[in-house]
Structure 1
Amino acid sequence: MSAINLSAGVRSNLLSLQGTAGLLEQTQNRLATGKKVNGPLDDAAAFFTAQGLNSRANDLSSITQGMQNGMKTIDAASKGIDSISTTMETMIGQVRQALQDPGSEPPESAGITAPADDSTAFVVEAAVGGGAAFDVTIATGDLSATDQAANAQTVVDAINGDANFQSNNLTAQLDDAGTGFTIVNESGQEVVLTEGASSGGTIDAVGDLTDARQALMNSYNDLRTELNALSADSGYNGNNLLMGDALEVVFNELTGDDRTSFTVSAKQADGTAFGNVTADRLGGAEGDATTFASNVNLESRLEALQSGVSELRSLSSQLGTAQTIVENRESFTKEMVNTLQAGADGLTLADMNEEAANNLALQTKQQLGQSALGLAIQNDQSVLQLLR
């Protein structure tokens, strides 16, 4: 097939129009996509650099979702601690009210007869709650040979002045006749008299539980059950920091030794695991007649509950610190994502104002080129007219 010969003027204008059309297509593509680099052919270095930046930004964006889940898990545990603390304070109130109730008379031993003379030393020995025995011995020189009432008073004074009897909340009191005595047990534990005039005798741990204390004990146990339920229900998305779970919050997109993360768990002051946050763990053992009928046992329970409240405050502070760490890291990661995306956009996005101006200029140039091409063709036609 023979080639079509174009005049120099037509060919020059045609090449100019083709170049303008190519530039116009490129400009319109940039306006349509908003990017000046749409593929490696546009600018390989910029394209692959932006691709790497966007890839890391996407990875970090995915990680922020894990951080948000972590913060919600911590928040759920914190709210659980707040409610548990309120419950603990109410339990403490129940114990305080029980202490204010007079209660029943503390249990006491059967009557013990004082020595009638000074022929032998007099011994009273006791063991509390199965512990080691301790005693008071009245030597013969401290006893009267004829006055039993005086001897009874001597024994009572000796028992009430003994450090072991005092520390175990055991006291002696004279009987109505004044010639004997009983031992009153306010220890909250069973007492066995192992030697002396009442050897083999026992004293009950506590007296009868009054109706008022019974009602307070029932309320206390109801609160205790609710405390355990609150702890069990303080989880989020399968993780419960109050029931011994540990949560790892990942902070970057790397793996192995390069990965950074933060593990959140309930810990004691010494850094060891706190364990399950339950009533028993916080000093709120189940209330029973032995506890609520004894002021000594109630005081011990009150002290344990107050210690538990202190532990809850420490645990709440730990979770608050963990929440701050994760929140700060999430904020940092979001800023990093914005920085990476801005860097990628700077490499690939087109300046829309510039491209719009280019588009208008190229359209004008195209129109001028078409006019010039028309004039060149008219020149060729004029030559043809001369030949005719």
Structure 2
Amino acid sequence: MSDITLSAGVRANLQSLQNIASLLTTSQNRLATGKKVNSALDNPTNFFVGQALSDRATSLTGLLDGINGGISTVQAASKGLDAIYKAIQSAQGIIDKTKSDVGTISNQARGSAVLNNAVTLGATLGYANGDTLTFTDSVTSAATTVSLGTIGTKNVQDLINTINAQGAGVYTAALNNGNLVINSNGQNAFNITSSNATALTATMGATAASTTAGSYDQVKLDSYAGQFNELLASIDQFAGDASFNGVNLLRAGNDLKVNYNEDGTSSTLLQSRNISSADFGLTTIPTGGTATLSDFTNKISVLKSALADVRSFQGEFTTKLSVMQNRQDFSKSVVNILKTGSDNLTLADANEEAANVLALQTRQQLSQSALSLAVQSDQSVLQLLR
């Protein structure tokens, strides 16, 4: 090519076309890739700074996955605690219903336990003048009094007959397997009094069995005991199933650390703990005819303490959840800022580059026309030489 001599006009037009072609190639490449800086050769400063910003955005995006997992883990544990809280409240309801529904009479004494200073239960049941033996439900709305009169001694059957005669349909008495059983048909007080100064004795005879001052509806007690035990089992099941991705904060040994930055200097530690009916101190109530009202009432304080523990755990998890959700929003904002900064350094403006392509194509056509004219001028000189 160096042996070919071009006129000044042709050479100028060729150089213009070459420059236009180069610029056109650059603009078309930017439109194709969407970037104005594709490598360090294009713009070293923008390329490396943009790459650093993009890398940190990628790292934070990965950490966001961990934050999302931590949030879901806490939410699963919180839902488990909510269900456990409702189960404990239901257990309290069972106890309240048992107290009001089984028609119980408070058990004043059993066996040879001392009823008061003047009355002892054993093989004989004695009452002194002015002493009162009271059988009550949880609420007293009326009273029934049975007077044993002035007879010094009565046997058990005499006492039963007197209670049935004077009980006004509210109380009935019977001898059941050697036990004097007095049943209440309502929420009333029951009094036994004597009218003379001598002690009145109800002789138990040869049976000398333990004397109870009341009786329970055992069928209902067993039913409520079964319901209570099912609720305790559900507490353990809720706690065992409150996991996310294999992590259960309601089971000890499942601590989870959620990192918020690349070096782990900013993080939240989610501490796990054992949540179960046994850890609350709750035990099942015996069934099969052995349950008593005290088996239920003894659970009241334990259930109250369990509710307080669950509320405390819920408050702790709610705080952790709030922190992680705030950090999640913050990290998303930072990622967007980093990506925008990187894009501003490396991305091309599609509208601008499209306009450049159109302008360059127009210039290219003009340059081609100018080159054609220059060539025609040289050809005219050649014609003159001929």
TM-score by length of 2: 0.70
Equivalent position amino acid for 1:110 in 2: S
Q: Does 1:49 align with 2:49?
A: yes
Change over 3 Å in CA distance of 1:377–1:343 after alignment to 2: same
Q: Distance between the aligned counterparts of 1:49 and 1:232, measured in 2?
A: 49
Pairwise mapping of residues 82-231 of structure 1 onto structure 2 (< 5 A)? 82-100=82-100, 101-103=102-104, 105=107, 107-110=109-112, 210-231=218-239
Equivalent position amino acid for 2:333 in 1: E
Change over 3 Å in CA distance of 1:206–1:375 after alignment to 2: farther
Change over 3 Å in CA distance of 1:283–1:95 after alignment to 2: farther
Pairwise mapping of residues 240-319 of structure 1 onto structure 2 (< 5 A)? 240-244=248-252, 245-255=254-264, 259-266=265-272, 275-288=273-286, 292-295=291-294, 297-319=295-317
Q: Do the aligned residues in 1 keep the contact of 2:232 with 2:284 (CA within 8 Å)?
A: yes
Q: Does 1:235 align with 2:243?
A: yes
Q: Do the aligned residues in 1 keep the contact of 2:94 with 2:224 (CA within 8 Å)?
A: yes
Query: SS of the residue aligned with 1:368?
Result: helix
Equivalent position amino acid for 2:262 in 1: E
Let me know the Cα RMSD of the aligned residues.
Answer: 3.3
For structure 2, the 5+ residue unaligned runs are 121-125, 133-151, 155-209
**CA shift at 1:349, angstroms?**
1.3
**CA shift at 1:88, angstroms?**
0.8
Q: Distance between the aligned counterparts of 2:7 and 2:55, measured in 1?
A: 53
Change over 3 Å in CA distance of 1:251–1:206 after alignment to 2: farther
Query: SS of the residue aligned with 1:3?
Result: coil
Query: SS of the residue aligned with 2:299?
Result: helix
**CA shift at 1:249, angstroms?**
1.2
Change over 3 Å in CA distance of 1:65–1:33 after alignment to 2: same
Query: SS of the residue aligned with 1:263?
Result: strand
Q: Do the aligned residues in 2 keep the contact of 1:24 with 1:359 (CA within 8 Å)?
A: yes
2:321 matched to which residue of 1? 323
**CA shift at 1:282, angstroms?**
2.3
Q: Distance between the aligned counterparts of 1:61 and 1:13, measured in 2?
A: 52
**CA shift at 1:2, angstroms?**
6.8
1:136 matched to which residue of 2? none
Q: Distance between the aligned counterparts of 1:2 and 1:40, measured in 2?
A: 34
Q: Do the aligned residues in 2 keep the contact of 1:107 with 1:204 (CA within 8 Å)?
A: yes
1:145 matched to which residue of 2? none
Change over 3 Å in CA distance of 1:373–1:205 after alignment to 2: farther
Q: Do the aligned residues in 1 keep the contact of 2:110 with 2:212 (CA within 8 Å)?
A: no
Change over 3 Å in CA distance of 1:2–1:34 after alignment to 2: closer
1:334 matched to which residue of 2? 332
Pairwise mapping of residues 325-364 of structure 1 onto structure 2 (< 5 A)? 325-364=323-362
Change over 3 Å in CA distance of 1:286–1:207 after alignment to 2: farther
The C-alpha deviation readout for 1:285-318, integer Å capped at 9, x for no partner, is: 22236994153x5333111101101111121111
The C-alpha deviation readout for 1:97-151, integer Å capped at 9, x for no partner, is: 2333344745523389x99xxxxxxxx9xxxxxxxxxxxxxxxxxxxxxxxx99x
Q: Distance between the aligned counterparts of 1:27 and 1:2, measured in 2?
A: 31
1:9 matched to which residue of 2? 9
Q: Distance between the aligned counterparts of 1:111 and 1:347, measured in 2?
A: 92
Change over 3 Å in CA distance of 1:70–1:111 after alignment to 2: closer
Q: Distance between the aligned counterparts of 1:65 and 1:291, measured in 2?
A: 55
Q: Does 1:371 align with 2:369?
A: yes
Q: Do the aligned residues in 1 keep the contact of 2:53 with 2:338 (CA within 8 Å)?
A: yes
Change over 3 Å in CA distance of 1:2–1:98 after alignment to 2: closer
Equivalent position amino acid for 1:9 in 2: G
**CA shift at 1:253, angstroms?**
2.1
Q: Do the aligned residues in 1 keep the contact of 2:10 with 2:371 (CA within 8 Å)?
A: yes
How many residue pairs are counted as aligned between the two chains?
301
Q: Distance between the aligned counterparts of 2:311 and 2:303, measured in 1?
A: 13
**CA shift at 1:341, angstroms?**
0.4
Percent identity for Structure 1 against Structure 2: 38
